[in-house]
Structure 1
Amino acid sequence: MLRSGQNFAGYSIERMLGVGGMGAVYLARHPRMNRRVALKVLNDDLAADPKARLAFDRESILAVELDHPNIIPIYDRSGPQDPALWLAMRHINGGDASSLLTPWPEGLPVEQAIRLITDAAHALDYAHSKGVLHRDVKPANLLIEQDPRVGERAMLTDFGIARTLDDTTTNSGVVASLAYTAPERFTDQRPTDHRADIYSLGCTFYQLLTGQPPFPRTSQAAVIAAHLGQPVPLTTTRRPDLPRGLDSVIATSLAKDPEQRYQTCADLADAAHRALGYRRAAPPPRATPAAEAVEKPAPATTFTAATPEVTNSRPVTAEATAAATADRRISRRSLLIGGAITVPVTAAVITAAVTQFDSGGGTANSAAPSAAVTPDTVLTGHTDGVRAVAFSPEGALLVSGSLDQTAQVWEVSARRAGGAPISTGHPVQTVAFSPDGSLLATAGGAKGEWTTQLWDVLARQPDGQPLNPGSCTGIETTAFSPDGTLLAVGRRVGNGSAIQLWNTRTRQLDGQQLDSGNATAALAFSPDGTLLAASQGTGIDSKVRLWNTATRQPLATDLTGHLGEVVSIAFSPDGALLATSSLDTTARLWDVRARQPIGPLTGHVGAVSTVAFSPDGRWVATGGVDKTVRLWDVASRNRIGQPLTAHTDRVTSVRFSPDGTLMASGSQDGTVRLWRLSTTR
């Protein structure tokens, strides 16, 4: 035991932080760096054991190399000649996850528990990708940091007993806490792999939700027997207010057979987010230190007088819950909240007749496929105008950004909000998903306060500091490069470059910036990432400039012809065509290689606010201040069917789902509408 003021391995001991079976942890100060650390000193008997010393050296080397925001970093460790074994780690002055349960003996608020488990899942999956097992995942090893930038977050510690994933030695002597130990670690039937950590994470999640481990028993033998043979307890038995879907999440996490568990920790976290879609509209109250906000039931699916009313009449059932969790290998970023809920649509299909077209369009090709458009759902909840919508790359999520300073994440299959909206702190003018779906970019502001912020989609928390736009009078557009390494931000400025290129890894401006004059209202990367198209100028001087992203130089020929500012740009999926929309009441198609116009798309009354290609490149959708959404056939440049007139204010954004079955439109009327598309001949 070390005393206060004692010097140990160059560190000045201030006080003991805790003691465990392997050793003690002290708060210590480095005399030269003037930095407090958590100094873990292992017991003398371990230091005297040559095998234990060899294992400590091997495993501490692995732990030192782990570099992740949710893993406690190790600054220093004992050397071969040191008489004691020790690690110097970052000190977190926030307690651990088990201490959070003191004022919440029946379990944490479900959103908080899921957020902490998600942090731990990120850390564990990263460690597993480096070939490192933790083998002692439990609430006491999940430290809580109050970060002023992102709020509360969990950080995993104590990789001192980690093994490499290719270590085939089974655990005959269990070091980890029994309450969280996977059943295969008690037998010699199979090697232990990363799925033992997933089991322990599930046990930890159960305790955070209910206040106790899943198998509380009075003896170690009884605990082991329960892990090996007892059925997994239901979370809703202890807390009836919890979403019933969490029972399936825990059951999968704690499956006796590792093959039946989630195969990554992120799968567990994703499933927990999905389960939130089954929250009851009015959970029974329980005694807690602070009142919890009760999520309102999802609004009924409604339409304006322009289309028949549709309601979601299918209730959430236990069978639906089971169906939603049947597929255990969920995509890491697939935050499906509601699972297999569908919305019956009784509205008549608006038949798309390609023979109808506006002045300025040619005769339709009768052999070309057209689209049937079915009004699907209206998503409500924003308190101000919706300025932008975006589907996640896999199509599971839809995000809408609003002037009410929120970005709402919608679960597409269930047609409902996936939890509370993201409070951005600024009116949102634009939203964009990174290509892998892990990050969401929001940008906007008002009255001289403009910002761009990246968000961790899974955690729904800021990912780093806001990107400083410098002096500008507006931010209206952002775009990720196809490889996700760059984020382009279009600004309005008095002088200098209007396009910023940010490195998404370093969060610093990346190399030479693009001088596009004083206004950039629209941006788009080509699908292969070699070009960046950007609007430039206003009025009759408006044009689109194509930039070589490698050289940061503009191509020789600009795209000119619009008589008003270009406010939206989209590349076709193959990169051969470019679509633009403008305040001059038209949208236009361009041949990218020839830098020549193909023809205007005319018919909107007033400015055309937004343009988007369908995933197969056959259709273009536009929306305008005339409150309509219009669909166009690319080959003939004729309008398909009648304008869609359900919105009651100008349409600000349209996007297609990645599979092409849905189209989303956002409007200044504060709603997002989904339209179902199908091909007809």
Structure 2
Amino acid sequence: MSLLYFPNPLDSMTDPTHESVADLYQRIEKLKLLSAEQLPELHEAIDANQDWKRGDLALWLEERDWITPWQRRRLVLGKGSFWWNECLLKEPLGQEEENQSFLAHHAALRSKVILQVLPSASQDANPEEAEKAEESRAFWSRLFQLRHPSIAAIYSLHEETTSQKRWLVKEYFPEGSLAEELESEKIEVEWLGPWLRTIAEGLAYAHQEGFVHRGISPSRIFLLGEQKQQAKLAFGSSTLFLDPSKTSTVEDEDSEEEMVVPEGTIDYLSPEQAEDPENVDGRSDLFSLGCVAYHLLTKRLPFTGKNKLQKLLARARKDAPPANQHRADLPKPVVEILSKLLARDPQDRYESAEELIWALQAWPAAWPRSGGVYIPCDRVLETRKTVITESLPEELLQKPEEKSETISPPPLPADGKKKAQPQATPSTAKQDFDLEELTLQDDDKGTQSAQAKPATTKVNQSAASTSGSSSSGDEELFDLLPVDEDKKRTVVTASTTSKPEGEEKKEEETPENQLFMLKGRRKGDRPGGIQSVTFLPGEKQALSAGTHAVQLWNLEKGREIRQLIGHKESVESVSVSADGKFAATGGWDRVVRVWDLETGRQIRHLEGHEDAIFHVRFMPQDNYLLSAGRDRSLRIWDLQESRMAMWMEHSDWIRAIGVPPDGSFVVLAGGSNELQDYTVRVWELSSSEELRVLAGHRAPIWSLALSPDGTRAVSGGEDGSLFIWDLHRGTLLGRVAAHQHPITTVAVTTNGRWIASGSEDHVIKIWHAVDARQVETFVGHREAVASIAFSPNNLTLLSGGADNTVRLWKMNASQWLRNIRQ
């Protein structure tokens, strides 16, 4: 990880004895304590107040909230830098001399964060200190991989090799924690329900990853949004080991043994954790969560006592009184849920957090009335209605498991066409954004700005977004065809021209990890290549589309099955229905065509687009299809009736589409150098409203892929960077300087573990989805890589490129995981 390291700001000092106001101004400018917009105003204030002393200047800055009281004191005392890496320190969040954590402003994220300094051992440290520091490092490295909308985010984890300093950057919550809500007069059951469910969802994820929180309390649950109806759970060091400096000792008068419990959590501790803190499971967290909810609703603790020992004995010897004894208006389901959570015996509680989540359906308002993204975005820049040609059918808004069996499309009318009439709407004004880079991992030798990149030719293509099974079959190794010992393979071709008799088939070196290569059809000497590839369910067949043909391939035999003939110009995108029976294609002839893959017959001809189509995508409900392109429109087609069911207008070209498994919203990305809308946008289908505008790219976006659960998105474009987005919160999780040339395609595995990116540099790179670490590079294409797709079982990767080849690559996931863990 390439980092710019700044010394500990508490290490150095400047002698303030003879420092003038002018000197202090220069030091403020040098320290970059103020923004470029604030400095001129400060200069004018100094000119207008010639009698100012250093303290007056610093006090003036504090009164304007430009600096904090802590910064003012340090500034006047002449203490050192206020910067730690990319963070401008605002104030300590504890004892200053401990130097454990700070409130800071992150320059790249442009938001407040918490910077926490981790224990580190010097070279002359004793073995106990060294072991403790190493345990802390291992714990936070593992905790850093937890990524869930209901868990407080750790944005980055840093280690400076020279000084052995370690620190991390965490999410900051200005709205405060649940501890502050204990002071309110009364908390409504309906207000408590949504955050209780979201915290349970976060716990379910953490438990699956092997974590038990062991420290849940109101002060560890943070609130979000103006109405404070969503919450996040912050994990801490109690998850790994019990630090004596943060614990209390309770002596059991009967056994004369001492129990060590985390400070501040004793009121919410489970009986089994009080007895043996190291031998608990997820049910202990559910007990603590129940204690928090009980306390908030009743304003009383479920287990009381005059001291800590009596409190612990109370939960071990008697049940908590029903919550309605302290608050009579509580609904019966709420009382029953709390009683089950607070059962003394873990066997009598909910078996898992998942079971609690479903039980909360009986809790008033705990579950949203409709699907979709329910966590509000903290960066919503604009909201506007879409233009709808006709009302959206109810079945389109159903989740896949709720819909009826897919109905095969009826025959086309005699003319083969059924044209939809779009309505025009004016474009909205472009927003101007400038989000600084947050580099998670740069595997190249340097970072190159968009302006410094060489001029390249665009390869229009579709982003290979994935959804489906969460099978983790990537632990296996897979060979589609046996690899020769001398690493050579005969190139399989599907050429329309036959070779002269007696001519040997051309052989070429097989790149490492490449299983085989197929050559696409070519019409005469016309240049062109493969623009889009995708697997069919079962991984035995694949589709490719490009300049000259749409081809169905048998991957077991390495040969073409058939062509899909009908397009008059280059095809930019191909998609396959969930059942594998139908394919959809779109391209420069402005027509969406739907094919029966068993017969190769075209069964739908959908017109309406006014310019090239860049992306087509089946909805999770196979009766509906999305298409978008250069005419700045997204269209949803009803395939059963061969008509356009919905139409949205965008402010720029749409080059890529993403849809979550439940089909509740759609994510659009694109842009052009003319209109310069380089944003990712999220539209909710049920309300026909734009929910999110994600800004960060500084050049057109060519590709987009969603995580299998639909909570995150990966985008790539002309700037050569991968952006990773949290779609629930509408925030940027990180940016990776991935390629030195434009990124033309991205994909995510169906288990969400790996990200792939393809570029005009002819290279495919594989990234670990958690920390954006590059684990593999596939080199073989002789021209730009235009499209990539992971197989549903995550064992192989399919790619197509401007060299008119389709290549299959082997995923060495087990080796990549071993390398990461080392």
Smaller-chain TM-score bracket: 0.3 to 0.5
Greater fraction of residues in helix: 2
Bigger RCO of structures 1 and 2 (CA < 8 A, at least 6 apart)? 2
Please identify the structure whose Cα radius of gyration is greater: 2
TM-score (norm 1): 0.44
